Every structure is written in C-alpha cells, then in structure tokens.
C-alpha cells in the first residue's frame, strides 16, 4: 500500500494511508502500519528506521482556522502536543514552532506544515500525517499533518474537552507521534458497535482508533508510547537503564508473522507491546524497566490489520492467546535472552 511518488533526488512516501487516525464511532477501517515501533524505509538494500536526523525540527502552522477554532488556538494546541513529546526524559526529540504560514499541509515543499484540511470523502479520518524522505539517507526531511475539517467532524480546543466533540490536542498528540516516525500500537481494546469499533480502553496514544468525542485521555502519553519514542531517539540513560526482550513465536514449528506480543510488569502494571515482524516469528520489545515481565501473545483483533501491516494477507490471526510459562527477567541495559513461545491454532 505504500505509494511512492518520484522526485528527482528524493521520494515522497505518501503514508497518508499509513498514518491515519480514525474516529471510533465511525467505521474502524484504518490503514497500514506497525507496532509502537518504527517504520522501515528501504534505502538501497538496507532497511533504515524512519526518523529525523537533525534537531530541533521546525514546524509551521497554517494560518487558517475553522468554525469555532482560530489559527492561534490551533497553534497553541499543536504546541502543547509537541511539548508532551519533548517532555519524555528518555527521548531526544525537539521541535520549534516556526510560526504561521500560508503553505498547505499537502505540499511537498520542505516545510513541515500542520493545518486543517477538509476531507469529506473520508468521514472516519480525524487526522493524517505524511512524510517526505531523503532517498539516500532515509531521513525524514518534511512531515505534514492535517486535521479533517469536514463538517461532519466536530472539534474542541477547550481545556477540559467538550462533550460530543473530538479533542484536538489528543488527536494532535497521536499525529505528532507519527511525525516523529512512530507507527501504531496494538495496545487497545475495542468492541464492535453499529458502524464500526468503539474504544473501551487504550494502552497507547498510538493505538489507531480514537476515543469517543469528549475524551481527553490521549493528551497524555502512556508507557508504550514512551518506550517507542525512546527506542527511536534514545537519550537520558535510556539505553543503560532499560532493557529488552527478544524471542520467537512459532506455531507447528513455523514462525508466526504479525503476532502481537505484550510485556506486562507485575510490579508497575506497565504494558509495552510489539509485533513479530517477519516469517521467522521474531520479536523485540525494548524500553522495559528492569525486573520480571509476563509475556502474552495474541492475534491482532482490536483494529483492522492494515492499521499495522503493509500486507495484511501475511498476518496470522488464527491462534489462541498464549503466555510464556515463566517470568522473563529484564536486565538494565541488556536483554532477557531468547524467548520461545509456541502457540496453537484456534
Ligand atoms: Zn495513526
């Protein structure tokens, strides 16, 4: 699904479909992505993590408001969401508000622009992020975000949220996670309601489906989000203070692709998740506090597969939930060792 638009010396990876946040009360039909973890960019024969190489990153606010929200309110809201990511002590990300612009968030012009765009064709899309990537280095050179200003989507910028309206700061916080290069997390529980999925609980701002209108929970990052951004831009002792778990998920002796693996700390209650990423069934979960974790494996079933994977047809969802039979002990700055978990078909 990744569509590439050719430029002379770089390519625009239109991951618009990849970085969509969908409104919960409408159809849950998001697009492709991966875990809390990162996108891979193919550069020559290598896969490079999608990320910015230079800080601070400058971003611009399109100088256009919508009914009930001025451009200045949009700016203050976006600034607050960026500050939330800046405040992660174990991640080195920083962005500067470069002021207003008349440039649009749809232009590949070297400017990272955040603004409103009406997309009435996609009434379930609340916001979207895409990137322009240097073809040689894989680094992000531009990232644009738009929020859907279609009349069917009511927005709020009030401090405490507004009943019946989507919280712009919450959605901006999710989209800015994509801006930095993060994909989706599968840490969420949903239920089917008429017309789509309703979120019951989320363990990550980067879960692909939004909370219902009025909810402001996603203004605050969760441990899974913090692990993801810190793994991508480690700082503040992240590499020495936290550890990781790696392993393999198999079924009938074969690797399982697309299994959701979750590490749960019984002491802190923290959840961090990731996916098996290839046909060998290998997974890595980084950013874990040292100590014991419980490992649980489950099929992806709380959002559409293409929220997480480029090719959903490769993903195996036909297996029962399974646990690792003992604690995995995460050492500071190290790895808990190769963990093997076998699952069985449903
Ligand atoms: Zn998203």
Can you name the CATH fold of 3-230? Answer: Collagenase (Catalytic Domain) (3.40.390)
User: Is pLDDT larger for residue 307 or for residue 93?
Assistant: 93
Distance between Cα 8 and ligand 1 center (Å): 29
Task: For residue 225, give the 3-state DSSP assignment.
Answer: helix
Distance between Cα 124 and ligand 1 center (Å): 12
**Taking the chain, what is the end-to-end CA distance rounded to the nearest angstrom?**
29
Distance CA 322, CA 254 (A): 16
Distance between Cα 170 and ligand 1 center (Å): 12
121 pLDDT band (50/70/90 cuts)? Answer: confident
Distance between Cα 174 and ligand 1 center (Å): 6
Residue 11, pLDDT above cutoff 70: no
Distance CA 269, CA 294 (A): 10
Distance CA 214, CA 25 (A): 12
Residue 39's pLDDT is what? 67
Tell me the backbone φ, ψ of residue 238, rounded to 5 degrees.
Answer: -55, -45
DSSP of 165-200, one letter per residue?
SEEHHHHHHHHHHHHHTB-----EEEEEETTEEEEE
Distance between Cα 312 and ligand 1 center (Å): 17
Q: What is the pTM of this model?
A: 0.87
pLDDT tens for 293-304 read 999 999 998 887
Distance between Cα 129 and ligand 1 center (Å): 8
Can you name the CATH fold of 242-343? Answer: Immunoglobulin-like (2.60.40)
Every domain range in the chain assigned CATH 3.40.390.10: 3-230
Burial of 9 (0-12, 13-18, 19+ CB in 10 A): exposed
User: Is pLDDT larger for residue 14 or for residue 300?
Assistant: 300
What proportion of the chain, given as a percentage, has pLDDT over 70? 87
Distance between Cα 287 and ligand 1 center (Å): 21
Cβ proximity of 84 and 177 under 8 Å: no
Distance between Cα 224 and ligand 1 center (Å): 14
Distance between Cα 345 and ligand 1 center (Å): 30
Every domain range in the chain assigned CATH 2.60.40.10: 242-343
Mean pLDDT calculated for residue range 179-193 = 89
**Which tokens in the block code for residue 16?**
């618009």
Cβ proximity of 202 and 210 under 8 Å: no
- Residue indicated by tokens 């297996």: 319
What proportion of the chain, given as a percentage, has pLDDT over 90? 61
Residue 90's pLDDT is what? 95
User: Is pLDDT larger for residue 281 or for residue 15?
Assistant: 281
DSSP of 109-127, one letter per residue?
SS--EEEEE--TT-TTEEE
pLDDT tens for 252-295 read 999 999 999 999 999 999 999 998 988 899 999 999 999 999 99
**Which tokens in the block code for residue 178?**
């994509």
Contacts of 3 by beta carbon, 8 Å cutoff, 6+ apart: 13, 14, 17
**Which tokens in the block code for residue 130?**
């895409």
Task: For residue 23, give the 3-state DSSP assignment.
Answer: coil
Average pLDDT, the chain: 85
Task: For residue 76, give the 3-state DSSP assignment.
Answer: helix
Tell me the backbone φ, ψ of residue 75, rounded to 5 degrees.
Answer: -60, -45
- Bridge partners (DSSP) of residue 341 are 249
Distance CA 209, CA 33 (A): 13
46 pLDDT band (50/70/90 cuts)? Answer: confident
Distance CA 31, CA 19 (A): 7
Residue 18's pLDDT is what? 35
């Amino acid at each position: 699904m990744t569509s590439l638009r050719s430029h002379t010396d770089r390519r625009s990876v239109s991951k618009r479909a990849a970085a969509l946040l969908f409104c919960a009360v409408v159809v849950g039909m998001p697009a492709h992505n991966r875990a809390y973890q990162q996108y891979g960019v193919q550069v020559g024969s290598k896969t490079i993590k999608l990320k910015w190489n230079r800080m601070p990153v400058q971003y611009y606010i399109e100088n256009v408001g919508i009914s009930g929200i001025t451009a200045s309110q949009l700016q203050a809201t976006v600034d607050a969401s960026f500050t939330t990511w800046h405040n992660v002590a174990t991640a080195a990300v920083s962005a500067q508000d470069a002021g207003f612009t008349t440039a649009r968030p749809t232009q590949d012009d070297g400017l990272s622009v955040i603004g409103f765009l009406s997309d009435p064709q996609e009434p379930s899309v609340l916001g979207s992020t895409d990137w322009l990537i240097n073809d040689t280095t894989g680094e992000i050179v531009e990232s644009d975000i738009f929020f859907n200003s279609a009349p069917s989507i009511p927005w709020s910028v009030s401090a405490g949220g507004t009943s019946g309206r989507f919280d712009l700061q919450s959605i901006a916080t999710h989209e800015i996670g994509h801006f930095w290069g993060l994909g989706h997390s599968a840490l969420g529980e949903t239920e089917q309601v008429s017309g789509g999925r309703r979120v019951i609980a989320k363990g990550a701002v980067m879960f692909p489906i939004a909370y219902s209108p009025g909810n402001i929970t996603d203004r605050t990052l969760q441990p899974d989000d913090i692990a993801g951004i810190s793994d991508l831009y480690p700082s503040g002792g992240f590499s020495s203070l936290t550890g990781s778990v790696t392993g393999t998920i198999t079924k009938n002796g074969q690797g399982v692709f697309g299994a959701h693996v979750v590490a749960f700390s019984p002491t802190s209650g923290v959840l961090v998740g990731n996916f098996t990423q290839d046909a060998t069934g290998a997974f890595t979960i980084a950013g874990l506090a040292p100590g014991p974790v419980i490992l649980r494996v489950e099929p992806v079933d709380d959002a559409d597969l293409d929220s997480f994977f480029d090719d959903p047809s490769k993903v195996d969802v036909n297996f029962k939930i399974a646990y690792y039979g003992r604690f995995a002990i995460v050492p500071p700055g190290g790895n808990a060792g190769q963990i093997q978990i076998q699952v069985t078909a449903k």
